[in-house]
Amino acid sequence: MTQKNLQDNNPWRKGNYDEEWKEEVYEKVRKTYKNPEIRKKCASMIGKTHSEKTKKIQSEKRKQWWNNLTDNEREKYSKKMSKIRLDNPRIMTDETRKKHRIGILKHIEETNGAVCPIMGKNEEKILDEKQRKLGVDIERNFHIKKLGYVVDGYCKETNTIYEVYEKYHTGYKQKGKDKRRKNEIQKLLNCNFEIIWDL
């Protein structure tokens, strides 16, 4: 089973524990953990989830362990974990990405009182001009809370999203991200989506 299959159709996340997938996870556990006792504990949890009580206990233990470390030990551990993450990049599902975005924006809102993204160089001028030309009201920095996205402008009257794209949106990777973002927004709002290029 390939990494793409694990990402697109992860049976563990769905609660449908495919035997082939579980065997692949067992193999990873065997390779990762040399200590047979640890292997046994890890393997026994495949296809299961901890209770909220257990999660809370584990969280408190991790906090206590971290607080007991010296500054030097913390630095060494952080460097070690950074290397592990680089060597074994995580596969993030669309749902995980969404939760991550929503969490970040919620934290910003609670900390600063509002989400205020950095505006493009000519963004305000371009949207002002579009607003005058169409004779409609375009709400700026419109926060789509269910998706964790903030778009440049949204017109409620015409149900249209406006995005001002600058040069960095022409990059290959960014094009893919923008396309996925556009599809998610249109699926939720069933809206028009107008891209205004500012190169």
pLDDT tens profile 17-71: 556 666 666 666 666 656 666 656 665 665 567 788 888 888 888 888 888 888 8
What are residue 142's phi and psi, to 5 degrees? -75, 125
The residue with greater pLDDT, 149 or 199, is: 149
CB neighbour list of residue 23: distance below 8 Å, 6 or more residues apart: none
In the chain, domain spans: 3-91, 96-197
What's the confidence (pLDDT) of residue 30? Answer: 63
**Which pTM value belongs to this model?**
0.56
What are residue 48's phi and psi, to 5 degrees? -125, 165
- List, in sequence order, every residue forming a beta bridge with 194; answer none if it has no partner: 162
The CA angle 140-126-146, to the nearest 5 degrees, is 30
**At residue 194, what is the residue type?**
E
The residue with greater pLDDT, 177 or 46, is: 177
Contact 162, 150 (CB under 8 A): no
The domain made up of 96-197 is a member of CATH 3.40.50 = no
Q: What's the pLDDT tens digit per position in 138-150?
A: 999 999 999 999 9
For residue 155, give Cα distances in angstroms to 4, 84, 113, 130, 141: 37, 45, 24, 11, 11
**At residue 187, what is the residue type?**
K
